[in-house]
């Protein structure tokens, strides 16, 4: 499992951020490419929010199903009646 970044690392990664969008810069590149930051996003955002899985047409018929993995959690979508 990926280690979550420290508080200090969070402060460093956000340098350049400003609440006023016209003065704000992008986060440091590691925030978009680092494995630890990806793990932090999965834990703090993706695993706690609704995620789109498929269009209704993929599970149109009763008994049809699809499966996905979201933030390391298996999810099954099954069509009932």
Q: Please write the tens of the pLDDT for every residue from 20-46.
A: 888 888 888 888 898 989 999 998 899
Give the pLDDT score at 63: 95
Question: Which DSSP string do the residues of the chain spell out, in sequence order?
Answer: -PPPPPHHHHHHHTTT--SSTTT--PPPTHHHH-HHHHHHHHHHTGGGS------GGGG-STT-EEEEEETTEEEEEE---
Q: Please write the tens of the pLDDT for every residue from 47-81.
A: 999 999 999 999 999 999 999 999 989 999 999 98
pLDDT > 80? residue 1: no
Q: Please write the tens of the pLDDT for every residue from 3-13.
A: 888 889 888 88
Q: Is the pTM of this model over 0.75?
A: no
């Amino acid at each position: 499992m990926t280690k979550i970044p420290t508080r200090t690392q969070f402060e460093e990664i956000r340098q350049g951020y400003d609440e006023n969008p016209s003065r704000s810069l992008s986060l440091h590149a590691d925030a978009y490419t680092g494995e630890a930051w990806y793990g932090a996003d999965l834990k703090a955002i993706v695993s706690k929010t609704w995620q789109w899985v498929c269009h209704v047409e993929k599970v149109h018929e009763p008994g049809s199903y699809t499966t996905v993995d979201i933030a390391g959690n298996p999810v099954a979508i099954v069509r009932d009646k």
